[in-house]
Structure 1
Amino acid sequence: MQPDMEIVHLLRAAAVELGLHSARFAQHNGMHPTDVRALIALMDARRAGAETTAGRLGAALGLNSAGTTALLDRLERAGHVRRVRGETDRRRVVVEVTDGAVDLGWAFFGPLIERSVELLRGYDDHQRAAIRDFLDGVRTAAAEGTHTPPTDTSQREPQHGNTR
């Protein structure tokens, strides 16, 4: 196997394991996987100091208006989010993740996050920058792929030497 493909396969395996870890969190807390993705998006926005409207959250998750409303109603009933007036524009309603949801997430994901940070400490600044650039590039490529309609691969000839 080519070294580059080995790294791609390891990344895919890590993505699968992270997805399974997230699914265990969702199941353990009576959530849908989309609920978890929404909470992650809201936590990322909170960390960045950005306000998130329902529309922006729905667009980020690929949900229509009705789906977004159902999601937010579910998360609000569970005490994970609240709808509040925007700081910059009081006419807007924004969605905030609650401290309780952050604490719940940290209790489950904290050990994995701490282990990841511990692993990164084994790399120098240059290596961490390369890792960051690679992961950001993969994230960007994956995000760009969400805007491309799926193609019918059933008629496509297999590519020799390229294991999927």
Structure 2
Amino acid sequence: MSTDPSEIFRRYLSAMVLNSLASAEAAGLNATDYYALNLLDLAGPLTSGELSTQTGLTTGATTRLIDRLEKGGHVRRVPDPADRRKVIVETAGQPEDLDEVLSGTRRRIGELLRSYSQEEVATLFDYFGRAATAYQEATDELIRSRTP
């Protein structure tokens, strides 16, 4: 196994992406639908325009995404109380077997985290928080650069 920090980090990111793809498939979702549900869970209800912006999808693709998720019982469209012309998308329930699908990953990561001291775990979670912000900012920058 390589000791090159760049290679180790790339391997880590690849493993996370592959695990997410496999988890989505095991839960009966495609990767975009899985990501959108996670996004709605983290951000709370969003307008279809906000969901489009945050996923980087076109408005048409976002409508089809919402249709699929609504048909599966995972989201619902509700009128925006501030502007009845807008629709808000909110979660209506996660896939029934999602907890079971994620149990192996959660167990393994939990075991890994328990092998670290409290101070090390605090450092890891400090990194996760800062890295999430850095990745989101880089993603936003990429999305803005595609928009005329």
Q: State TM-score, norm by structure 2.
A: 0.76
1:9 matched to 2:7? The reply is: yes
Question: By how many angstroms is 1:41 displaced?
Answer: 0.6
1:59 matched to 2:59? The reply is: no
* 1:41 alignment partner, SS class: helix
Question: By how many angstroms is 1:85 displaced?
Answer: 3.9
Question: By how many angstroms is 1:12 displaced?
Answer: 2.2
1:135 matched to 2:128? The reply is: yes
Q: Deviations over 1:93-138 (max 9, x none)?
A: 322223242x432221132123212322222332122111222333
CA RMSD of aligned residues (A): 2.7
Match of 2:106 in 1: 113
CA 110–95 in structure 1, closer or farther in 2 if over 3 Å, else same: farther
Amino acid of the structure 2 residue aligned with 1:13: R
In the TM superposition, what are the counterparts of 1:1-164 in structure 2 within 5 Å?
Answer: 5-6=4-5, 8-45=6-43, 50-85=44-79, 89=82, 91=84, 92-101=86-95, 103-146=96-139, 147-148=141-142, 149=145
Q: Deviations over 1:35-77 (max 9, x none)?
A: 11101111223xxxx3322222211111121111111001111
Amino acid of the structure 2 residue aligned with 1:79: G
* 2:78 alignment partner, SS class: strand
* 2:97 alignment partner, SS class: helix
Higher strand share: 2
Amino acid of the structure 1 residue aligned with 2:100: A
**Contact 2:27–2:97 under 8 Å retained in 1:** no
**Contact 2:48–2:88 under 8 Å retained in 1:** yes
> CA separation in 1, counterparts of 2:109 and 2:136?
23
Q: Give unmatched runs, 5+ long, in structure 1.
A: 151-164
CA 113–66 in structure 1, closer or farther in 2 if over 3 Å, else same: same
Q: Report the identity percentage.
A: 32
CA 85–118 in structure 1, closer or farther in 2 if over 3 Å, else same: farther
Which one has the largest radius of gyration? 1
CA 126–33 in structure 1, closer or farther in 2 if over 3 Å, else same: same
Higher relative contact order (CA 8 A, sep 6+): 2
Question: By how many angstroms is 1:11 displaced?
Answer: 3.0
